Amino acid sequence: MTPAASAALAELTQHFDTTTLVRDPWRLAPLEIDHRERYRGRAAAALFPRSTAQVSAALEICHRHAMPVVPQGGNTSYCGAATPDASGDQLLLCLARMNRIRELRPIDDIMVAEAGCLLAELQQAATAADRLFPLQLGSAGSCQLGGNLSTNAGGTNVLRYGMARDLVLGLEVVLADGRVLETLGSLRKDNTGYDIKSLFLGAEGTLGVITAASLRLFPQPRSVATAFVALGSVQQAIELLAELRSAGGEELTSFELMPRAALQLLNRHLPDRQPPLPLDAPWFLLCELATARRGADTHHTLEDLLSAASERGLLGNAVIAQNERERQALWQLRESIPEAQRRAGPSLKHDVSVPVAVLPEFVTRGTALVEQTVSEGQLIAYGHAGDGNLHFNVSLRDGADAAAFSAREQTLRRAVHDLVHEFGGSFSAEHGIGQSKVEELERYAPALELELMRRIKLALDPQGIMNPGKVLKR
Ligand code: 2HG
Ligand code: ZN
């Protein structure tokens, strides 16, 4: 350990008791590895603060000694954003114990919650107050608000409600030097200079630590209709998207595309989760209409829309969930795909987006690229097609050579990301940069944008202690 880190650790040890500052290797071990087990580091210690004042005190100490700090929420990052490096000099700052909902004011449609709240708990609290907190991710039961906001998470309701960034009215942030920036207002209108809070949303803990947020709430939908639809092509999917949007308007909340291959993986690895239709089409869609309007009947609207589209040859078979249990089963199918892919063995992941209009052409060219580049792989491209965002993932084929497959990772990544760039898309649509895409950001971000990012980093974290090596190079 560097002298600076051991001096900081000595001071932290004086300040915090052993239930708050944890150093036992067996307790650190699960925090030092990401959930996909692709990144493994070694932390000097892990701090579990219970209050903003404790976060502030810890950062003040770390800043004085230039000890690096890695904030961690539910440890569900796909990019290694919350995993320490191998030096053994970094302090893990785990927000899990800051898990209070400080306030919920239905009349203002806001909820003020701490960073360690589980997303599912926030959703439940909103529902109990007859409101909706619309962020929805498959990992809702384990991911935490601080991570959701720090990575500007997306998920399955972005089409209607936007990304995590769009759900925030104000933040409480502990800056690198320990000072606390408090903007936890409930104002929808506050037009007073630079929007400083937005810098911390999507910064992945590299500029400061989000400790609480005031969040926007929405009316609780009264009528929800969910369908599972067989489709002949991605082109049909985007034509159907246009129809659902023009007829359903803002009621269309989700539009999730899945290839047959993804559902076949479910068949094989999670056989208790079965699609309600035969797998005789190349693509399947899960779409949902929802509205809070009294007297609305989204079930009939969706039925009418789908039968009109079917008459025009836009889709194959379709089923609409008849009750909440069937709806949950459809969502479970979609949300189980990452788990099925994990059980199927190693995979090469690309979280990409392109303009919706070019999605069909992108998928055609991307599929050819995968076939040419990695013959050991099978493309499992699924996700938030309504946002132009696909998880363009490649799984190892049964019985194929795993070493040869892994050896193609960098070549494939370059080819896919270059293709995305050619289509005017993004190499990280919703999972962020973390440590896995730092090089990609250097390669694809406009030089001036990168320069501004570096200047902002320097202004807010002059010592470079906040999650170093994530998002930007050290
Ligand atoms: C999803 O949409 C998640 O299910 C996970 O963003 C994506 O496994 C993935 O690549
Ligand atoms: Zn996703």
Question: For every one of its 474 residues, what pLDDT tens digit does the chain have, with 9 covering 90 and above?
Answer: 889 899 999 999 999 999 999 999 999 999 999 999 999 999 999 999 999 999 999 999 999 999 999 999 999 999 999 999 999 999 999 999 999 999 999 999 999 999 999 999 999 999 999 999 999 999 999 999 999 999 999 999 999 999 999 999 999 999 999 999 999 988 889 899 999 999 999 999 999 999 999 999 999 999 999 999 999 999 999 999 999 999 988 999 999 999 999 999 999 999 999 999 999 999 999 999 999 999 999 999 999 999 999 999 999 999 999 999 999 999 999 999 999 999 999 999 999 999 999 999 999 999 999 999 999 999 999 999 999 999 999 999 999 999 999 999 999 999 999 999 999 999 999 999 999 999 999 999 999 999 999 999 999 999 999 999 999 998
| Dihedral in degrees, nearest 10, Cα atoms 298, 304, 310, 312 | -130
Mutation pick for ligand 1 pocket among 148, 273, 351 (CB with most ligand atoms within 8 Å): 351
Q: Label the pairing between strands 218-219 and 208-216.
A: unpaired
Regarding the beta carbon of 457 and ligand 1, being less than 6 Å apart is answered: no
Mutation pick for ligand 1 pocket among 38, 431, 436 (CB with most ligand atoms within 8 Å): 431
Task: Please state, in angstroms and as integers, the Cα–Cα distance from residue 242 to each residue in 229, 232, 363, following that order.
Answer: 15, 16, 18
How far apart CA 117 and CA 6 sit, in angstroms, is: 31
Nearest CA to ligand 1 atom 2: 383
Which amino acid, 81? A
Question: Which among 150, 294, 311, 148 is positioned nearest to 223, based on CA atoms?
Answer: 294
How far apart CA 76 and CA 35 sit, in angstroms, is: 6
Mutation pick for ligand 1 pocket among 34, 37, 78 (CB with most ligand atoms within 8 Å): 78
Q: Which residues have CB under 8 Å from 127's CB, separation 6+?
A: 220
Q: Which residues have CB under 8 Å from 267's CB, separation 6+?
A: 274, 279
Sheet-wide strand order for 252-259: 252-259, 283-291, 223-231, 318-320
How far apart CA 311 and CA 315 sit, in angstroms, is: 9
* Token digits of residue 167: 């759900």
Regarding the beta carbon of 35 and ligand 1, being less than 6 Å apart is answered: no
Regarding the beta carbon of 138 and ligand 1, being less than 6 Å apart is answered: yes
6 class by beta-carbon count within 10 Å (0-12 exposed, 13-18 middle, 19+ buried): middle
Which amino acid, 465? I
Regarding the beta carbon of 334 and ligand 1, being less than 6 Å apart is answered: no
* Token digits of residue 293: 């309007």
Regarding the beta carbon of 347 and ligand 1, being less than 6 Å apart is answered: no
Question: Which among 285, 175, 170 is positioned nearest to 234, based on CA atoms?
Answer: 285
Do residues 176 and 203 touch, judged by C-beta distance below 8 A? no
Nearest CA to ligand 1 atom 8: 338
Regarding the beta carbon of 338 and ligand 1, being less than 6 Å apart is answered: yes
* Token digits of residue 317: 């078979």
Regarding the beta carbon of 349 and ligand 1, being less than 6 Å apart is answered: yes
Tokens 């400061």 belong to 208
Q: Which atom of ligand 1 is nearest to the CA of 393?
A: 10
**338 C-alpha vs ligand 1 centroid, how far in Å?**
6
233 class by beta-carbon count within 10 Å (0-12 exposed, 13-18 middle, 19+ buried): middle
How far apart CA 167 and CA 260 sit, in angstroms, is: 33
The ligand placed nearest to the CA atom of residue 143 is: 1
Q: Which atom of ligand 1 is nearest to the CA of 138?
A: 4
How far apart CA 60 and CA 385 sit, in angstroms, is: 44
Please give the pLDDT value at position 65: 97
Q: Enter the pTM of the model.
A: 0.97
Please give the pLDDT value at position 364: 98
Do residues 186 and 157 touch, judged by C-beta distance below 8 A? no
How far apart CA 364 and CA 200 sit, in angstroms, is: 37
Regarding the beta carbon of 393 and ligand 1, being less than 6 Å apart is answered: yes
Beta-bridge partners for 69 = 91, 466
Please give the pLDDT value at position 106: 96
